[in-house]
Amino acid sequence: MSKEKNEENLMQKIVSLSKRRGFIFPSSEIYGGFGAVYDYGSYGTELANNIKSTWWKAMVQKNQNIVGLDSSIFMHPRIWEASGHVGGFSDPLAECKECHFRARVDHVLEEEGVFADEKMTEKEINKLLIENKDKVKCPKCGKSNFSEAKNFNLLVQSNLGNFTGNWDKKPTYLRGETCQGIYVNFKNVLDSTRVKVPFGIAQIGKAFRNEITARQFIFRKREFEQMEMQMFVHPDNAMDIYEDWRNKRWQYYLDLGLKKENLKWHQHENLVFYAKAAWDIEYKFPFGFKELEGIHARGDYDLTQHSKFSGKDLSYQDPKTNEKYLPHVVETSVGVDRTFLAVLTEAYIEEKLEDGSERVVMKFPKKLAPIKVAVFPLLKNKPELVKKAKEIFENLSDKRMCEFDDNGNIGKRYRRQDEIGTPYCLTVDFDSLEDEKVTVRDRDTMKQERIEIRDLESFLEKNL
Ligand code: GAP
């Protein structure tokens, strides 16, 4: 089997496990689905929450000079003009003249090994398309007959507030990135907290983009979640602080359990005019290395634009030197969904066991596992076992996510917990009623040991 085939297989296996075990469901499935939108199931919600709290801890909790924010999805329409999104936030779209399929031109070019930088103008991308017109194929019908590419704006519009006739009848948008909420609250945060430059504002929240192509599962969604941090810095220190964050974010992914060989740097060469530097951390997804996080040195572009469009002075006065200046911005930006897919890809393991059977196990780092402990009574129809198992579940679930399971036989329960990545399974059997011990089974080694019920809490404290 070729490598590609294997990788394709891995993606299918991850998609199928995600649905079967309640990590991710396609949106609106009973209505035939809804392109590039997905729902997180019960275990998916837990995993996503764990990913978000890991990020929050690394960015806000552990950094004295970074504070949190939760700004709204709806914002004043002028914000998206100031940010440049109304004018320039677009992807090149072309239509196949044979089957009328609409494709993202940079993606169809990429399929043929022609690299089109996302910062190219409409003219530049059309030149590339013409040069390669016999090579690029429609992903649907396979023919090479595309229309001219047109830029398609990615902002999602809403009709919010239309009845008031406010805002010059301009459309209101669902935010295309969370960081704009940070820039427009820069002064509020400065005035209400004790931060001083250099300081950061971090935010986790939904963003919306009219992505042209719906593909690669949760990698490219139309409704997704971002975890963004904007550091406001003195212009003279900007590049040092930028380098510092590049290192910190790389280390963060290693700490998250992603293997070094599955990560790599990609430097953007064609920068937007305001950016000073842009690097991506890429992860080796089942479909190849692709962007996981972007780390950008944005200069003073954002505060300059919002000062200009709002008419408010957003400059900062250093309390010690009295120097007045517009801070520069260093940004780290990653999607929850992309991190989720990287974590699933890394965790998915198929193992051949000594007895010749196979198991699928999600070897999540324990801090990310959706369920930390599963508690089983050996038999469902023995009230004394069920009572004891329920007591243990009640006690342990105070501090962590636990699951009580009395369905099927123990083998089936282990298989299920392996597939959702539960680090420990505890079984209450008849001996437990006598010796006050339970069998603790380790997800990774599958080793079993007897542990006293009264020691369970300290065992879990130590091992989780
Ligand atoms: N504020 C900068 C910004 O939004 P971006 O490169 O457009 O930069 C940052 O997006 C990150 O957001 C990406 O690295 C990716 O992890 C995530 N992201 C962007 N578009 C996405 C989409 N359609 N679906 C899922 N995640 C997305």
Question: Where are the chain's structural domains?
Answer: 10-82+159-346, 90-153, 371-463
Predicted local confidence at residue 3, as pLDDT: 41
Question: What's the average model confidence in pLDDT over 242-260?
Answer: 98
- To 5 degrees, how large is the angle CA 254–CA 338–CA 202? 75
Confidence band for 6, pLDDT divided at 50, 70 and 90: low
Residues composing the chain:
464
Identify which of 333, 334, 336, 341 to mutate to test ligand 1's pocket (most ligand atoms within 8 A of the CB): 333
CATH of 371-463, one of 3.40.50.300, 3.20.20.210, 3.40.50.800, 3.40.1550.20: 3.40.50.800
- To 5 degrees, how large is the angle CA 320–CA 321–CA 323? 125
pLDDT tens digit sequence for 129-172:
999 988 899 988 999 999 999 999 999 999 887 666 555 667 89
Predicted local confidence at residue 164, as pLDDT: 60
Is pLDDT larger for residue 106 or for residue 423?
423
pTM: 0.94
Rg (CA), the chain: 26
Predicted local confidence at residue 90, as pLDDT: 87
Confidence band for 456, pLDDT divided at 50, 70 and 90: very high
Predicted local confidence at residue 4, as pLDDT: 43
Long-range contacts of residues 430-433, Cβ cutoff 8 Å, at least 24 apart: 430/378, 430/382, 430/385, 432/385, 432/388, 433/384, 433/385, 433/388
Predicted local confidence at residue 88, as pLDDT: 84
Ligand 1 atom nearest to 226, measured from its CA: 12
pLDDT tens digit sequence for 287-322:
999 999 999 999 999 999 999 999 999 999 999 999
Q: Check if 279 has its Cβ closer than 6 Å to any atom of ligand 1.
A: no
Q: Check if 338 has its Cβ closer than 6 Å to any atom of ligand 1.
A: yes
Identify which of 226, 252, 289 to mutate to test ligand 1's pocket (most ligand atoms within 8 A of the CB): 226
Question: What's the average model confidence in pLDDT over 225-239?
Answer: 98
Question: What's the average model confidence in pLDDT over 269-298?
Answer: 94
Distance CA 246, CA 300 (A): 19
Query: Does the pLDDT at position 2 exceed 50?
Result: no
Question: What's the average model confidence in pLDDT over 410-422?
Answer: 97
Predicted local confidence at residue 1, as pLDDT: 38
| CATH no. for 10-82+159-346 | 3.30.930.10
Distance CA 104, CA 57 (A): 37
pLDDT tens digit sequence for 66-112:
999 999 999 999 999 999 999 888 889 999 999 999 899 988 998 88
Q: Check if 337 has its Cβ closer than 6 Å to any atom of ligand 1.
A: yes
| CATH no. for 90-153 | 3.30.40.230
Ligand 1 atom nearest to 338, measured from its CA: 16
**Residue nearest to ligand 1 atom 27, measured at CA:** 335
Residue pair 23/44 in contact (Cβ under 8 Å)? The answer is yes
Predicted local confidence at residue 171, as pLDDT: 87
